Amino acid sequence: MKRFYKAVSVAAVGGGWEVRLDGRSVRSPAKAPLVFRSEPLAQAVAGEWEAQGEQIDAHSMPMMQLASTAVDVVAKNRAAIVEGVAKYAETDLLCYRAEHPRELVDRQARLWQPILDWATLRYDAPLHVHTGLMPKPQPEDATRALRSAVDAYDDWVLSALQDATAACGSLVLALALIERRIDATEAFEASQVDETWQIEQWGEDAESIKRRAALRADIEASRRFVDLLAG
């Protein structure tokens, strides 16, 4: 889409802040009103619009995308999204460990076990750790507790949590990220333990570099979005 505006501004409105293009309020792709509850988030979205060149690139606007998802998708499909995100707990990445080599086993334990221990204390949700890749059942009380944790977030935070969970391949890592137990770099490194090990052994191709960069960007955007929401 060609850029159709010149001036970008932020204005206070009832209940929050709006981003305006040439004085007209920005709306979501589904034409829903976008009222940001924190001025820092509104300013960040305004910055994304201001940074566009002659052509608008939606992929370069992660804060706008997450906000739009919150109002266009999460608000209308909340129950299904909660279930989809919570389902990751049944086969969470952090619960499936390698049997060898020793260095990889130790690295998984060092990066993953503290986060699992945190989830146990934070949510009363002790998940079982297994070796190998075959799915094994988790305690129902634990998965139920993690589902309740997911459902407790509002639509805007849930939008970020959904993206972070998919990017990390782990609900536990995404919760730790959103709750500020770990930062975006730590979340990315923990989510990529196995891939990083393989790269160290065999090298990395261009496709892998691109894919990992996109995952890192998604994780960073999710954390930034939640931080900006908090003001």
Whole-angstrom distance, CA of residue 223 vs CA of residue 169: 15
Mean pLDDT, range 148-165, rounded to an integer: 98
pLDDT at 135: 85
pLDDT at 87: 98
Per-residue b or e along 160-173, where b marks 16 or more CB atoms closer than 10 Å to that residue's CB: bbbbbbbbbbbbbb
At 97, give phi and psi (nearest 5°).
Answer: -110, 150
pLDDT for 190-209, tens place per residue? 999 999 999 999 999 999 99
Mean pLDDT, range 94-106, rounded to an integer: 96
pLDDT at 148 over 90: yes
Lowest mean pLDDT among 1-5, 40-44, 134-138: 134-138
Whole-angstrom distance, CA of residue 35 vs CA of residue 123: 31
Mean pLDDT, range 73-97, rounded to an integer: 97
Between β-strands 16-21 and 24-25, what pairing exists: parallel, antiparallel or unpaired? antiparallel
At 3, give phi and psi (nearest 5°).
Answer: -60, 130
pLDDT interval class at 133 (50, 70, 90): confident
pLDDT at 231: 86
pLDDT at 132 over 90: no
Q: For a pLDDT cut of 70, what percent of the chain falls above it?
A: 100
Whole-angstrom distance, CA of residue 223 vs CA of residue 227: 6
Q: Are 32 and 72 in contact (CB under 8 A)?
A: yes
pLDDT for 25-43, tens place per residue? 999 999 999 999 999 999 9
pLDDT for 59-81, tens place per residue? 999 999 999 999 999 999 999 99
Contacts of residue 44, Cβ cutoff 8 Å, sequence gap at least 6 = 63, 224, 228
Distances from the Cα of 182 to the Cαs of 13, 47, 175, 185, in angstroms?
34, 26, 9, 8
Mean pLDDT, range 129-149, rounded to an integer: 93
Whole-angstrom distance, CA of residue 126 vs CA of residue 205: 37
Mean pLDDT (the chain, rounded): 97
pLDDT at 36: 98
Domains of the chain: 8-61 (3.30.2180.10), 78-229 (1.10.3580.10)
10 Å CB burial of residue 189 (0-12, 13-18, 19+) is: middle
